[in-house]
Amino acid sequence: MESYWFGARRFDEFCRQTGLLKTVVSDRLKRLIRNDCLVKVAYSEKPRRFEYKGTEQFLDLFPMALAMLHWERKWSQKPNALEVKLTHTPCRAATEPLPVCKSCRAEISPRDVSWKVGPGVGQMEATYSRRRRQTAESGSNTKLLDEVIRIVGDRWATLILRSLFSGINQFQEILEDTGMATNILSDRLSELCQERVLYTVDVPGDSRRIEYKLTEKGIGIYPILLTLLEWGDKWRPAPEGPPLLLTHNLCGKPLKIEMACSACNKEILVTDTSFELKISNSRGDNNGKSGSA
Ligand SMILES: [Zn+2]
Ligand SMILES: [Zn+2]
């Protein structure tokens, strides 16, 4: 998906940009087609050749991509070989995408959001896969959304974060809230602590027990989960209604997130951005690439 935002449309472009094996790229493209996110269209008849086009629901994931980019830039501790300069074409300024409330346009912090359970709330069914977790080691080092994908791309880590954002902080409670297996939960909790997304404190009055808390870096993941929640409510709605009802306390309105331009505070649309990519390799020279999604 990241490659798509940076202009990849053809199979060999996805392979080159991701550095992944052809079989992996082919499998993931098929999966995106099955989920109505991409369509395969012929761009040449003789010989017959295809490219991939994002559907409306795929393009609706653009705010999530921007929220991820914002987090990665702010919090990733790893040096990244890839740098991107985004320009908001309507105001022509170099822009940093910021998560704001659609109603009052203030930057969103989870501290200003209250929530209640909606009609469509349900517990996610626990399914287990023996497949080893995909890590970022595979492929090249030219991935922009490296650290954030390792966290948000992991179903269990995301469920743990959901619990923490709803004020659930102790091991046993998180276990009940997520329906995870004990070993997977302790595994993910220690990984999230290592990543400095979480930290632990002693439970007051009970020194044998600890609580998990979100660091500032962890709190920074909130807008990404909001974009996912809104996308899910729109494209994969539960028949009963939304699972979660959020209110922005600063304006009192139902919370809707928008990724806004740091220069002009208007929404950054997929059609309104251009980018410049810089890859610095070990010798320190640069390969430029630019375009628009
Ligand atoms: Zn607001
Ligand atoms: Zn702007």
Q: What is the pLDDT of residues 30-78, one digit of tens each?
A: 999 999 999 999 999 989 999 999 999 999 999 999 999 999 989 987 7
To the question of domain 1-56 being in CATH 1.10.3720.10, the answer is: no
Residue 277 has pLDDT above 90, yes or no: no
CA 257 to ligand 1 centroid distance, Å = 9
For the CA of 95, the nearest ligand = 2
Residues 6+ apart with CB under 8 A from 38: 29, 32, 52, 53, 54, 55, 58
Residues 6+ apart with CB under 8 A from 134: 153
For the CA of 88, the nearest ligand = 2
CA 15 to ligand 2 centroid distance, Å = 32
Same topology between domain 1-56 and domain 60-124+133-291: yes
Residues 6+ apart with CB under 8 A from 267: 258, 259, 260, 261
CATH of domain 60-124+133-291: 1.10.10.10
Question: How is the chain split into domains, by residue range?
Answer: 1-56, 60-124+133-291
Per-residue pLDDT at 170? 94
CA 292 to ligand 2 centroid distance, Å = 15
Per-chain residues with Cβ under 5 A from ion ligand 1: 101, 103-104, 248, 250-251
Residue 98 has pLDDT above 50, yes or no: yes
For the CA of 267, the nearest ligand = 2
